[in-house]
Every structure is written in structure tokens, then in C-alpha cells.
Amino acid sequence: MALQAGIVGLPNVGKSTLFNAVSNSAKAQASNYRFCTIEPNVGLVDVPDERIAKLAELVQPDRTVPTQIEIVDIAGLVKGASKGEGLGNKFLANIREVDAVIHVIRCFEDENVLREEGAINPVSDKEIIDTELQLKDLDSVEKQIQKKEKQAKTDPKAKVELEVLQRCQAHLEQGKSIRALDLSKEDKSAVADLFLLTDKPVLYVANVDEASMHTGNKYSEALQKVAAEEGAEIIIMNNSIEAQISEMDDPDDKALFMDEYKMTEPALSRLIRSAYKLLGLNTYFTAGVQEVRAWTFHEGWKAPQCAGVIHTDFEKGFIKAEVIGYNDYITYKSEAAARDAGKLRIEGKEYLVKDGDVMHFRFNV
């Protein structure tokens, strides 16, 4: 689906370390100086999902294929980025291209890690990034208002769009992000072509020290408070520890390492699953002896659209879908047993696919 979550933040907060940890296809350079990352790094990330492992245990397929999302490591923004500081225009353009934002914020003290913003203050750091994105959006909105003001004199549609733009302008001038404006679907269509930076959903990562991995600290608590006011999620983690875990190939070594830190799973797993949901994505499964596979679809998609994820011909020639709910499949332990129990349903073109559905599509081309 090529949907991307972009990792952003001030310089030296742990963005590239986090990217190295989550990405299984690329490694970003992580160094203690500004603008270490200039061109965005892109990595494909497997989405951890215990359901596919449980299905594989029952089916015993030749291979198991998880679903994936793209994670983009974007260079550190600095104060003044909206005016071009620190190659700001380039970095803001990179953010414009992603669908959701993972905002990494430093919540630890370490005199060996360079910091130009003074004392550790995660709320202030968040506000620096917010302000730069808001200023860039304000610039985009004001330019569009100038165009629409002329058109609105003779075009009723342009008049409606102008009113939406003026609401956005007033909101941004108050130092607020567009995602908090409660725009309707119709309102959003009026500004869709601007790809506003502050309209993107956001997930915060509090990068804490080892001692605070499980409990958090005063810095992460302050960040958690402002994130809650936005209705945003926050993941507390130590990016360096997560990077070490991700580099371990031996499952036993990984288990011992996590046991030492009293971890039941890497925090990265929670982060990736949260990013996946932030993008509005769900998963359905196909299960056969050749392959058990997870497929990504948008929440609210109907059966033909989901069939098209496998192949466009499946959508064009869609006839019907055979569906077993995930819990039913696990309960009855096979497709045949679920069918015998009356748990296999035949669904048509209007069926809204549910997260976890195990599906088989019938089509004719």
C-alpha cells in the first residue's frame, strides 16, 4: 500500500537509532552531530502479530508472510526550519510525503549527547517541532487563500473552500495543529491538495534512560500529559536497548537479554503496531498449506477492495468471499472444522472486512 510513517524530531534525540532498530531492510547512520541524516532513509518493517503465528501452528504452511509498513527516517528539524534553517525546506518536504508522524523526543539526561536547546525539556522540544510545522502550514494556507479570494467572487465552490481555509488560518495563528480542528470529511477535501503537515496523525516516542524503561520519569510524564490533551498515544522506550535487541539473530540470546531487562516483548513491537493503527490499517489473513499470509487493508474497506490487495484481477472479477472470523478459526483449529460448525460465511460485495478475518476469494476474470 506504500503508506509511510515518518520519524521526526530535533537533532540527537535518537531518531536514527530508533530507525536502525525497527528497520529490517536498511540501516541509518547514527552519529552525535546535527544533520547526520540528510536524505531520508526508508525501511520496510514487519508488523508483529501473534495471530499469524497461531494460524501457522494450526495450518503448518510451507512459509509464513507477515504484513509490513514503511518507516522513513527524516533528518532532525531545528528552530527556523519553516524559514529554511538547517536545510529546513527539504526536511519539511520529506514530512509532507509521509502519511503519519512518529515524533521522537528526548527524555533523558546525558552530557555526552550534544544538545543545543539547553536543559532537557520534552514539552518545549515538542513545541519547537509543532511550531515549525504550523508555520509551514500557515504559509501554505495563506498562499491558497490569495488564490481562492479571486475565484470565490464568481465560483460558489471556491467560496466554500475559502471559508475552510480561513478557519485553518485562524487555528494555525493560535499555535494549534490542524489535526485538532475537527474538520469534516467535506472540509478536509477542500485542503487535501495542500498536504498539511499538522493534519497528519502523530505518535510520540519518549526516549528514556535505562532506569526509566518501565516506569518512565519526570520528563516522559510531562510529555504524556500534553500528549493526552491531544488524544495522542505515547510509547516509552530506550532506543539504544531496542537497537541492541534488534541486532540479535539468535532467539535464545534475545530472550536472555530481554529477561535481564524484565521485558516480555520489545517496546518496538508496540511502536510498530501503534504506527500501523495510526495509519488506519487493519489485517486480514489467507491460510493454506503453501502459505499463511497477512494482508493489509484500510479500515472500512469492502471485500472486493481487500481482494484487490492480492491482485487487481481479484477485485475486477470478484464473486464472493469465504470468511472465517479469527477467533472461530482458532477455536475450531481448521477451515474444515469451522465450516462444519457453521462458522464459515459467504459474503458479497458489500461486506465490510473485519480486522483478523481469515478469507478466501472467489473471482472470475
In a domain, 293, yes or no: no
Q: Are residues 112 and 211 in the same domain?
A: yes
13 annotated as belonging to a binding site for a ligand: yes
In a domain, 98, yes or no: yes
Q: Which CATH number is 351's domain given?
A: 3.10.20.30
In a domain, 81, yes or no: yes
Q: Are residues 160 and 101 in the same domain?
A: no
Q: Which of 170, 198, 226 is the last residue of a domain?
A: 198
What is the reported pLDDT for 198? 94
Q: Which CATH number is 14's domain given?
A: 3.40.50.300
14 annotated as belonging to a binding site for a ligand: yes
Give tens-digit pLDDT for 146-188: 999 989 989 999 999 999 999 999 999 999 999 999 899 899 9
Q: What domain range is 173 assigned to?
A: 133-198
What is the reported pLDDT for 51? 97
Q: Are residues 8 and 118 in the same domain?
A: yes
In a domain, 287, yes or no: no
Q: Are residues 165 and 212 in the same domain?
A: no
Q: Which residues of the chain have pLDDT under 50?
A: 24-38, 86-88
312 annotated as belonging to a binding site for a ligand: no
DSSP 3-state of 129: helix
In a domain, 306, yes or no: yes
Q: Which strands make up the sheet holding 202-208, listed edge to edge?
A: 41-46, 68-73, 4-8, 100-107, 202-208, 233-237
What is the reported pLDDT for 287? 97
15 annotated as belonging to a binding site for a ligand: yes
State the pTM of this model.
0.86
Q: Which of 158, 181, 198 is the last residue of a domain?
A: 198
What is the reported pLDDT for 36? 36
Q: Are residues 165 and 35 in the same domain?
A: no
What is the reported pLDDT for 148? 93
In a domain, 283, yes or no: no
What is the reported pLDDT for 107? 96
Question: Residue 139 half-sphere exposure, CB side, CA atoms within 13 Å?
Answer: 13
In a domain, 156, yes or no: yes
In a domain, 33, yes or no: yes
Q: What CA–CA distance (Å, rounded) separates 86 from 82? A: 10
- Residue 353 burial by CB count (10 A; 0-12/13-18/19+): exposed, middle or buried? buried
